[in-house]
Structure 1
């Protein structure tokens, strides 16, 4: 079955306008973490997280095709998607810094059954088998099959219009 459509006509807007329009969509904020073969940990901030399927339990996230961490995440068998709590904007900022030697220094975490780092205090976490990857545009879409998950009901961190916020209702 062919799932690709013919190419759309060229857009009548530039990348800056597209990015601004996308900023009007509030998203949750996650930190994707994994363990390397040498035992060290890596992590990155991502707001491109979504559910795909309940049976089997599948989620997705995306990463820029040219990201330095692409070989790490495409080559590892497992990773954890940590959904940040409303008070964890500092973790989003910490794990979004390029060239940080060890963003895990001073960060509380525990290990999953496969040895992946799970950040403490998150709203939810999903330990995933790295099921498949799909290059699309300038990103790669990762589909993870969830092997374990847990939640701590609390307000979650969101990102909207260039600002962090919360799902906390007043």
Structure 2
């Protein structure tokens, strides 16, 4: 018997003594908070041309060839249908000094999140947040219901950005990375 298999068998014999079996939302939220994530604002246009945007930290690269990204949105979001039905959306990766912007686009109390926010219109017709360290304009590829969220996959069609230090979310708060020496 290989040592890996023997080690796996030994760990399953005492499985109940290791870790927690509490997988309730509150416990998971706390555990997920231990994983630092970047912060972005995803934007699109609604059916009547209204700019729509929200703060996300569920963004990830999926594939380089073809160039695909993914992000998710809770199924009870008032913006869900706009993103389901859009042809394009933009992922605007926020800079370390954009905490107020991230909070603004995360708040349901702010009716017009774009008021007094500098944006540029992409050739695809979606608003892009000026000053974002990177913007990925994506063609809406597909979406899929997964648990209590809808998972969106976008094919990157255009990029822009000046780089910089990213805004990070960790342990329930916004922070930034230490500069690389």
Asked if these proteins are the same fold (TM beyond 0.5), I'd say: yes
Aligned residues: 160
Structure with more of its chain in helix, by fraction: 2
Question: Unpaired segments of 5 or more residues in structure 2?
Answer: 1-19
Residue 12 of structure 1 pairs with residue 21 of structure 2: yes
Partner-residue secondary structure (3-state), 1:95 = helix
Contact 1:32–1:44 under 8 Å retained in 2: yes
Question: Unpaired segments of 5 or more residues in structure 1?
Answer: 1-10
Partner-residue secondary structure (3-state), 2:106 = coil
Residue 107 of structure 1 pairs with residue 114 of structure 2: no
In the alignment, which residue of structure 2 is the partner of 1:159? 169
5 Å matches for 1:1-170? Answer: 12-13=21-22, 14-169=24-179
Q: How much does 1:84 deviate? A: 0.3
* Partners of 2:46 and 2:149 in 1: CA distance: 22
Please tell me whether Structure 1 or Structure 2 has the larger radius of gyration of its CA atoms: 2
Partner-residue secondary structure (3-state), 2:81 = helix
Q: How much does 1:151 deviate? A: 2.3
**TM-score, normalized by length of structure 2?**
0.85
Contact 2:68–2:156 under 8 Å retained in 1: yes
* Partners of 2:149 and 2:41 in 1: CA distance: 17
Partner-residue secondary structure (3-state), 1:132 = strand
Q: How much does 1:37 deviate? A: 3.0
Q: How much does 1:12 deviate? A: 2.4
- After superposition, the CA RMSD in angstroms is 1.3
Q: How much does 1:99 deviate? A: 4.5
Partner-residue secondary structure (3-state), 1:73 = helix
